[in-house]
Each structure stands twice: as C-alpha cells, then as structure tokens.
Amino acid sequence: MSSSLSSSLLSPALITNATTVTNATIDEVPVLNSKGVSLNSLGKYNESIVYFHKVLAIDPKNVLALNEKGNTFGGLGNYIQAIANYDKALAVDPKNATVLDNKGVVFYHLGNYTDAIGYYDRALAIDPTVVFASYDKGNALEALEKYSDAIIYFDKTLALDPKHVLAMIGKGYALDKLGNHTQAVFYYDKAKATDPRYIPDLTNKANFLDKIGNYKLAIIYYDKALAIDVKNIDAIKSKQQTLSTINQTAPVGS
C-alpha cells in the first residue's frame, strides 16, 4: 500500500474558480451536479470538481456532490481527499450504500482489502441488491486469493445483472486460479461476446493501479486482460514493466 498521497492534485486556478462562486442559487444545484457527474464519467476530473465545489458552496451537505467529489479525487489518485469527502457524505447520510461502497473502493485500490470488504458488507447490509457492492466484494476476495468465496459474490452479481461483463471476467479469473480452466474460458468468452468494450478497461485499470503503487493488483488486472486476449501488446509490455518495478523494489534476499 502506497502512503505517498498528495494533499491536492488540482491547479490553483481551478481551486480559485471553484471557490469564488457567489451568484449560484439552490435551483441550479441539480444542473450543476449533472454537469459534474457527466464530466466525471468522461474522466475529466479537474473540470468536474469545479461543479461540485459550486454545489457545495450553495449546499454544504449535498450528499450527491460530496460523493461525486470523492469519486473525482479517487480518479485523480488523491485518496486522502476522497475519504474526507465520503466521510462528510456519510455524516449526513450514514446509511448511503453507494458512498459506503465507494469508500471501500478507496481501500481496495490502496491494497487494504480487509477494510474494503468491511465497507462493502455495510453497503450490502443496507441493500443486498446493490450490484456494484457484490461485484466489488468479489474483487476484494479475489485479491485476497479467496477464490471460492469470490465466485459466490460474482454469482450474486450475475444473478442481479446477467450481463455484468466484469463479474464474468472476475469469475473466469477465479475459476482459472482454482484449476477449472474450461469453465474459466467459458466465462472469458462470454464476457467478450457480451460487450468487448470493457476489455481495454482492464489494462487501463491495471495502468492506474501501477501508477498509485498497488503493483500486486495491477498484475491481477493485466492477467485478466491477457486471459481474454493473449496478444494484447499494451498489457504485455505494461505487465513486464510492473514486474520489473516489483523486482527493483523488492528487499534484498526476499
């Protein structure tokens, strides 16, 4: 787990722009939130956060803005600020399953899978039909090499959403680790047939995890990408670089 997190990844110009809003009104909040969410979905984090600052200048307890602002900082790899915003949202709405799950994802990315599962369990206790919490718990169990348990949660995810491509891939990876290669290939092929657009996301996620120092999890995502496409050049090269980094940072004699 990397502890070298910056306190802010926003430029001074953006912070100034975001914090000097005085003319917006409560009626504008839905539109401002919508714009911020749309920019978040496009990965335009520095732009999106400006809108959430505007909302929070009007309504400091707006849970949607606090949650999405946390997601924005998470996308930037600034997990200190992400957690701070999730905690503010939970202070307003302690039983918000979405925020609890998102906070769990922070710990997952940092390699603290046990704490991540704790937040996923809290989300599922509130609403066991939350698809993303079941999937995320499966991922965390997989990272802990508890593959049989992970499959249980990937199955729960697929029962709620039969076309959940990432759950198919996760289940395939777990089956492969358990030695059931035939069934693993079945789920990999099913994922590819359902929606191949998700497949490049695996390498992108791995690259992000490598960037924040979670090399173990990065390797898992490279392996998932390569299980589906063994000729994925980006995944091959990036995995080699991550393995090289692991070897360089490993303690002598390990």
**What is the arithmetic mean of pLDDT over 111-125?**
97
The CA-based angle 161-113-176, given to 5 degrees, is: 60
Give the mean model confidence (pLDDT) for residues 25-52: 90
Burial class of residue 30 in the structure, from the number of CB atoms within 10 Å of its CB (0-12 exposed, 13-18 middle, 19+ buried): exposed
Q: Can you give the pLDDT at residue 3?
A: 31
pLDDT at 4: 30
pLDDT bucket at 228, cuts 50 / 70 / 90: confident
148-182: per-residue pLDDT in tens?
Answer: 999 999 999 999 999 999 999 999 999 999 999 99
What's CA 185's distance to the chain center, in Å? 25
d(CA 138, CA 174): 10
Q: Are 79 and 5 in contact (CB under 8 A)?
A: yes
The pLDDT assigned to 13 comes to: 38
Is residue 79 within 8 Å of 63, Cβ to Cβ? no
Q: What is the pLDDT of residues 4-38, one digit of tens each?
A: 333 333 333 343 344 444 456 888 999 998 999 99
pLDDT of residue 151: 98
In this structure, the number of other CB atoms found within 10 A of the CB of residue 71 comes to 26
Average pLDDT for residues 200-229, to the nearest whole number?
A: 91
Domains in the chain, please, with CATH? Answer: 11-94 (1.25.40.10)
Torsion sign, CA atoms 120, 122, 128, 132:
negative
The whole-number average pLDDT for the span 199-204 is 88
First to last CA, the chain: 18
The answer to whether residue 246 scores a pLDDT higher than 70 is: yes
Is pLDDT at 53 greater than 90 in this prediction?
yes
**pLDDT (tens digit, 9 = 90+) per residue, 79-106?**
999 999 999 999 999 999 999 999 999 9
CB 100 within 8 A of CB 122: yes
Place of tokens 């701070």: 84
